[in-house]
Structure 1
């Protein structure tokens, strides 16, 4: 699809439709059905993990706005969100409209450099990019490299922010103040209610990504059962 004008997306919800390894929800047809349901009920786009799931949703929802990524782990690096050129190229080929990748300062697998990956993605693929960051500095650095979107996705999930708890509301105002107007600011991570999503917009986000609170069946059911189990008689 043609990438939409950011102004038409502003204030919208993107649903992260993912499922953990080993879950029966992780079937491409299930992911595609959840994505379609999200879009039918007003989501402006979906965020999907793996070329297989991106392709399944693209076939079922050809007009969907898809933010794609591929989680892969490699020895010697803690970067796992679309870490290398191979993953970037596969996500794009599968049908993503925006490629999300870790844009922190951490060392990447195979010695690849973030700036080189951004330049290559733009010159060879002409692909819009979303930076998953953990700090204001990394968000501004990503925008200067040429990322189109900056998201608070990794706040609380990196070594530098492991003592912090998402959502990264405190990143939003300084990022919005310093980011170019052409760069969309996304709040992602830890948004557990509609009220929290509204709070993110009020704090400066252009868009909000919600995952587990909507599509995380495994974690949601486990959380309810754990809470109820504490009240059951032994």
Structure 2
């Protein structure tokens, strides 16, 4: 069964703890990933080469790998370098996701997509708008994600905002495997993502960022 078929119709769990938090360790990320699969997830999304290396021996399910960087001359954070692509492939990622937006960057989206395919991996473009999806389709991506919708431009979303279901529908019309991602913080929202055409739905903060989820509950407590 192909990687896409393994993920189709399922939940992907983004196992990305809060940066520098108490859960930000490869062994804990690996445990998160195993727990997610035990709970029914069909794949996991893992940030960082060391974390992918830690997770890989424990899973046969697909791993979507990314590297996040803060660059001085580019707003792009998700897998900006071809070197990141090679390192993630060597670490055992099945899918490599990259920032698919049209912004200043060290390596073009076309080069990143081609580099991922050259490594024998599935290329996933994290899109901010429909034009990103169109370009990614032409450049050889196999998965289009709504990951960055609402996080660019003038109208920035917060974790409390609803997912961009319209974006999911638009990406789906391009004909590729469509990943709904971004603000899917409840089972109802995940279900709605599938209703709007998603092939898979990624859930992150609501499952793996304990500090953030706890703060949501604490805010409702008299002594929160």
TM-score w.r.t. the length of structure 1 is: 0.89
Instruction: Measure, in 1, the Cα distance between the counterparts of 2:197 and 2:132.
Output: 17
Displacement, 1:224?
Answer: 1.9
Secondary structure (helix, strand or coil) at the match of 1:159 reads coil
User: What per-residue deviation string (whole Å, max 9, x for no partner) do you get for residues 103-137 of structure 1?
Assistant: 0001113xx211122223323x1221111001111
Secondary structure (helix, strand or coil) at the match of 1:150 reads strand
The answer as to 2:127 corresponding to 1:136 is no
Instruction: Measure, in 2, the Cα distance between the counterparts of 1:5 and 1:126.
Output: 12
Closer, same or farther in 2 for the Cα pair 1:22/1:120, shift >3 Å? closer
For structure 2, the 5+ residue unaligned runs are none
Between structure 1 and structure 2, the one with the greater Rg is 1
1:190 aligned residue: 183
Instruction: Measure, in 2, the Cα distance between the counterparts of 1:20 and 1:27.
Output: 10
Instruction: Measure, in 2, the Cα distance between the counterparts of 1:90 and 1:200.
Output: 32
Closer, same or farther in 2 for the Cα pair 1:184/1:169, shift >3 Å? same
Closer, same or farther in 2 for the Cα pair 1:85/1:172, shift >3 Å? same
User: What per-residue deviation string (whole Å, max 9, x for no partner) do you get for residues 147-205 of structure 1?
Assistant: 0100000011123552685511111222212x12xx21000010011111010000011
2:205 aligned residue: 212
1:223 aligned residue: 216
For structure 1, the 5+ residue unaligned runs are none
2:147 aligned residue: 153
The question of whether the paired residues in 2 share the 8 Å contact of 1:155 and 1:161 is answered with no
The question of whether the paired residues in 2 share the 8 Å contact of 1:156 and 1:166 is answered with no
Deviates most, 159-168 or 77-86: 159-168
RMSD: 1.8
Residues matched between the structures, number: 222
Kindly indicate which of the two structures has a greater share of residues assigned to helix. 1
The answer as to 2:24 corresponding to 1:23 is no
Closer, same or farther in 2 for the Cα pair 1:121/1:7, shift >3 Å? closer
The question of whether the paired residues in 2 share the 8 Å contact of 1:151 and 1:185 is answered with yes
Q: How does 1:22-101 map to 2 (within 5 A)?
A: 22-61=20-59, 63-101=60-98
TM-score w.r.t. the length of structure 2 is: 0.93
Instruction: Measure, in 2, the Cα distance between the counterparts of 1:52 and 1:105.
Output: 28
The question of whether the paired residues in 2 share the 8 Å contact of 1:131 and 1:142 is answered with yes
Instruction: Measure, in 2, the Cα distance between the counterparts of 1:107 and 1:218.
Output: 32
